[in-house]
Structure 1
Amino acid sequence: MTIDQHLDTFHDLPVRRFGPPSADHSGVTDHGSVAWRVHVDPYGDEEEAFTEAFGRFRETVELEQVSALVIGSWGEVYDSDSSQVVESILAVKDRLTSLRALFIGDLVLEEAEISWIEQSDLTPLLEAFPALEVLGIRGGTDLVLKPVEHAALRTLLIETGGLPGEVARAVGDSRFPALERLELWIGQESYGCTTTTEHLAGVLAGTRLPALHHLGLRNADEQDAVAAAVAAAPVVRQLRTLDLSMGALTDAGADALLAGQSLAHLRSLDLSYHYLSDDGVARVQAAMDAAGVAVDLSDQQHPYVHGGEEHRYSAVGE
């Protein structure tokens, strides 16, 4: 998944744009054969409220067959939050009996910067769909998740330019016995990040995530602190893959990671987009080669120097 282009597949299905009133969907006879993408273009020729577009969707598509649903723009997303999306979906929850995968906020940079996307409390979606297996979220502004117990969820992805600390805490305080893949984009304080390693304590403990085998704690300005916490985290012992990419990781964070618990059981370690020195890259590469772990150290960054000070930033903020 990337913020530079819309999803073209989701839940192993091709994404089909539901489109404006003029769109023709008569060629789709099996409404469960695609992942439907519902959105509106507030700047287009056919201006339409999201509730109107979703109303057409529920009248046109056999909702009982839909297993994957992608929500794009719901209007001017920097002025209007996603609560209307939540309400629209909950209104037809009794018909969405096959829904297994849901993505809220499939917007690209041309539509809105990631930090402009106004989210809302998405907890009711997890509560309303106990069979949901995949939940993807883009945008952290005003995002709320409360601790829940969900027996079916296997993948949780939260992409932000600034992750609220209480959201990170709620993920760790939730009980997700089937969750296999968890990815959190932590982001930058200037774009709303309040997440610290303390907020990540529940995730790092892993006690409520017994099936987790992939953990991504990505895109953090404070990636060194994240790496140091991961170095001693109990959850690491159960992982197959670890992703600390897209952050402002320096030699200090990488050295802390190498000095911690063994990573030899991992299949892969992703540190791409980093601020390691050439020597730091060599140390990590040698250590992972010796352990038999595939490591990605691509996209080496260099500090931005201004006023005699060095500045490092995670990959995605605004």
Structure 2
Amino acid sequence: TRQQIETIEACFKEAIEKQDYLTYFIKAYTLSTRFFKELNKHLALYVLEYFDRTKYFSPNYRLVNCLIHIVTLLIHHPNLSQYRFQGACYRGMRITQHDLEQYKLDQHILNRSFLSASIDREIAEMFAGEGQQSHMRHTYQNHRFLQYSCLCKYLIKQNSTAINIENLSMNQHEKEILILPFSVFKVVKIKRNDFDSTNTISIEIELEECEDSDNNSESESCPNILNRSSWNARSRRGHDNLKTFPVTHIVIRPINDSYSPRNQQDCVKQIIGFQHHHMYTLGWSDIGYNFIICNDNHDQQEIYE
């Protein structure tokens, strides 16, 4: 409604006037409006266009730029460290069979939007529709369910992935944890309870965050994100022409226009080749993409950009 739009506009005006983007963004995000739904929908649809250097012009340029600025202002806010969260949190939702099929064991999932979760499992179960499976959508003839109650458990390992916004939220009773965009999770467990009438939640999914290789507690089952020293990177030419991106590592797509590397040494050689091409052929100040090396396919390793 027009009133809701004016309320959101007032939040952003106050954020600019008081130079406190974090507080007023969270206020806008947790208000009972459609703002958080629209923001997340457009982040999921368009935000990766910002990092796709094959697109020199996008019809959604202004929208994409606005989305990136919102994320950047939040991620780089000086007070964000006060709200850092690590540990387990829960997200309750209702999903379709098609939604469920997107989650596969050992699959890595890139989060492209803000995800609301809670440190309180019972609150998440309420959002999932705890105990209401019999009332959810189903086929008329054979009563096959078309919708399921689902509880996702997220294990947050790094201190830059999620923030505890309980004291900033307009709904403090929800004990909300906000998972930030561009984090990567691995599906480690899927449990179906829909055939057991004693369970109040039909689907339980557990996801574990993938960590930087710079972190000593790195899980070996997650992609190995290489830092510059590990692949003998050439020195940058300077920082003047470099843009500041809101994240360090992004998974966009597998590199499929070259041979498939079979070990990490081959992967490193290929990344060095990209840096040489970007710096000495295209004239850039440094390598243009971020990479991870993934060894999901048995011993064979693949590069993702």
TM-score (norm 2): 0.28
Larger CA Rg, structure 1 vs 2: 2
